[in-house]
Amino acid sequence: MVDKRKPIAVKEAIERVMKRVTHLTEETVPLHKAYGRILAEPVRASHDVPPFDRSPYDGFAVRSADTKGASGESRVEFRVIDHIGAGAVSPHTVGAGEAVRIMTGAPLPNGADAVVMLEQTVITEDTFTIRKPFEPLENVSLKGEDAQEGEIIVKAGTFIQPGVIAVLATFGYAQVRVAKKPVVGLLATGTELVDVHEPLAPGKIRNSNGPMIAAQLARMGIECRLLGSLPDDEDACFDMVKAAINECDAVITTGGVSVGDFDFLPAVYARLGAEVLFNKVQMRPGSVTTVAHVRDTFLFGLSGNPSACFVGFELFVRPALLSMMGSGRPYLPYEKAVLAADFKKPNPFNRFIRAVYTSAPSGAVVSPAGFNKSNSVTSIARGNAFIVLPGGTRGFQKGDEVDVLIIGSEEGAAVWELN
Ligand code: AMP
Ligand code: MG
């Protein structure tokens, strides 16, 4: 007899997964390896930035008081007493009518409180003239204007993007505390599967889910343990998954979670004594997506259908893995956009349509990325987003405003916006 499964709402399913997440431990990596990791500790300013008052231009450091009354008719002259570039410090104190020729990034000499840009001067050998007065601190980049010592610049749980790398370097973080990456095992199931380098034979298809998920993980900076592919054989799947849970924080399988005669994953979960968090979700594609948990390891049972597999990963696997690493923004970023084409199908469940999202000055638009059934592989290749249509709705028309989730963005969302 086929089990009657009770479908739960997408939001509820995500919550059940996220509740089971435990944080991974931390490790230290050198700065040049920190890109793409998640910060395990906040970045604190170890000094002011800039660390001293400095010149933002190539020019002359002067006393603003000496520039009073300068005009086109009555130019004021300065005598140049020193010349410094970035990295040098002038030993002089600028006195009345004096100036230090100074390059961008060099510290303002004592006595000076303004910088005249080269372009604002007429220069002779040891002197120059100006034609306008300068305010105190005009053209001066002030100590601490960018960051003040002790300030938290980036919070723990932040994805380390190139700007975060710059801040870490600024404050001397040669070593960075980051969350360990989860160990993720990846197994494709299906007697019909052949590997990418193998020829097709009657009834066979190539395993596209395995390489696709490996790439979805790679996009998150996570390498996976390729457990290969297995035929639909309960014992073989059981042995493989059982061995994998000892070594992995998560084991992702594709295929075999439906109710067909050769879908053995539910039996495997039962034999492992795994707690099944859910095995039916109110979503299309991917309603058979199953998540189980055993001995601190997640078992993500994704559908074999390529689009369903892709959606299941982005909705459940991605936030769980990011959250294990302490990410404060584990969810897909959410936008609104105008539908650029009709979508006539009714939506008994929430529908996640692979889509092309384009932002434009006139407003963001989104359209389905071609053939959009759960077994489609091409729409995944063309899409950069999901259109999300709520369950219980009829068709949508061109011009309707719809919810969109953006795929592949570095910056995630802190909350899951949709029901
Ligand atoms: P299943 O979830 O095992 O019922 O598989 C659903 C559909 O997805 C079937 O048509 C399978 O042939 C196909 N499929 C299963 N695994 C893969 C895979 N790794 N790559 C591409 N298609 C697959
Ligand atoms: Mg199968």
- Does any ligand 1 atom lie closer than 6 A to the CB of residue 377? no
Q: Which residue has a Cα nearest atom 16 of ligand 1?
A: 304
- Does any ligand 1 atom lie closer than 6 A to the CB of residue 301? no
The CA 260 to ligand 1 mean position distance, Å, reads 12
Q: Which residue has a Cα nearest atom 11 of ligand 1?
A: 304
Whether the per-residue pLDDT at 308 is higher than 80: the answer is: yes
Q: Give the pLDDT band of residue 4 (cuts 50, 70, 90).
A: confident
d(CA 28, CA 383): 36
Could you count the other beta carbons within 10 Å of the beta carbon of residue 76? 19
Dihedral class, residue 157 (left if φ above 0, else alpha if ψ from -120 to 50, else beta): left
- Does any ligand 1 atom lie closer than 6 A to the CB of residue 190? yes
CA distances 140 to 47, 50, 313, Å, are: 19, 11, 51
Indicate the fold that domain 26-48+147-180 takes in CATH.
Molybdopterin biosynthesis moea protein, domain 2 (3.90.105)
- Does any ligand 1 atom lie closer than 6 A to the CB of residue 306? yes
- Does any ligand 1 atom lie closer than 6 A to the CB of residue 186? no
Mean pLDDT throughout 169-173?
Answer: 98
Which residues, listed in sequence order, are joined to residue 322 by a DSSP beta bridge? none
Whether residue 298 contacts residue 249, with contact meaning beta carbons closer than 8 Å, is answered with: yes
This prediction's pTM: 0.94
The CA 344 to ligand 2 mean position distance, Å, reads 29
The CA 68 to ligand 1 mean position distance, Å, reads 80
Summarised one tens digit per residue, pLDDT across range 340-377 is: 999 999 999 999 999 999 998 999 999 999 998 999 99
Q: Is the dihedral of CA 168, 170, 171, 173 positive or negative?
A: positive
Classify 183 as helix, strand or coil. Answer: coil
The CA 302 to ligand 2 mean position distance, Å, reads 11
Summarised one tens digit per residue, pLDDT across range 368-411 is: 999 989 999 999 999 999 999 999 999 999 999 999 999 999 88
The CA 201 to ligand 1 mean position distance, Å, reads 16
- Does any ligand 1 atom lie closer than 6 A to the CB of residue 305? yes
**Closest ligand relative to 302 C-alpha:** 1
Summarised one tens digit per residue, pLDDT across range 311-331 is: 999 999 999 999 999 999 999
- Does any ligand 1 atom lie closer than 6 A to the CB of residue 307? no
d(CA 8, CA 227): 30
d(CA 47, CA 18): 38
Q: What is the pLDDT of residue 3?
A: 66
Residue-range domain boundaries for the chain? 10-24+181-324, 26-48+147-180, 59-130, 334-406
Q: Quick one: what percent of the chain has pLDDT higher than 70?
A: 99
Q: Which residue has a Cα nearest atom 10 of ligand 1?
A: 305
Which 8-state DSSP code applies to residue 120? Answer: G
- Does any ligand 1 atom lie closer than 6 A to the CB of residue 304? yes
Pocket test for ligand 1, best of 193, 216, 234, 300 (most atoms within 8 A of CB): 193
The CA 307 to ligand 2 mean position distance, Å, reads 14
- Does any ligand 1 atom lie closer than 6 A to the CB of residue 209? yes
Q: What is the pLDDT of residue 15?
A: 98
Q: Per the CATH hierarchy, to which homologous superfamily does domain 59-130 belong?
A: Molybdopterin biosynthesis moea protein, domain 3. (2.170.190.11)
CA-based nearest residue to 140, from 95, 105, 168: 105
Indicate the fold that domain 10-24+181-324 takes in CATH.
Molybdenum Cofactor Biosythetic Enzyme; Chain A (3.40.980)
Task: Indicate the average pLDDT of the chain.
Answer: 97
Which 8-state DSSP code applies to residue 35? Answer: T
Using only the alpha carbons of the chain, give its radius of gyration: 30
Mean pLDDT throughout 215-244?
Answer: 97
Q: What is the pLDDT of residue 419?
A: 78
Q: Give the pLDDT band of residue 2 (cuts 50, 70, 90).
A: low
Mean pLDDT throughout 165-182?
Answer: 98
- Does any ligand 1 atom lie closer than 6 A to the CB of residue 255? yes
Cβ neighbours for 138, distance < 8 A, ≥ 6 positions apart: 64, 114, 115
Mean pLDDT throughout 126-155?
Answer: 98
DSSP structure string for 103-159: -TTPBPPBT--EEEEGGGEEE-SSEEEESS---TTTT-B-TTSSB-TT-EEE-TT-B
Whether the per-residue pLDDT at 1 is higher than 60: the answer is: no
- Does any ligand 1 atom lie closer than 6 A to the CB of residue 193? yes
Q: What is the pLDDT of residue 340?
A: 96
Which residues, listed in sequence order, are joined to residue 357 by a DSSP beta bridge? 366
CATH tag, 334-406: 2.40.340.10
334-406 and 26-48+147-180 share a CATH fold: no
Summarised one tens digit per residue, pLDDT across range 250-294 is: 999 999 999 999 999 999 999 999 999 999 999 999 999 999 999
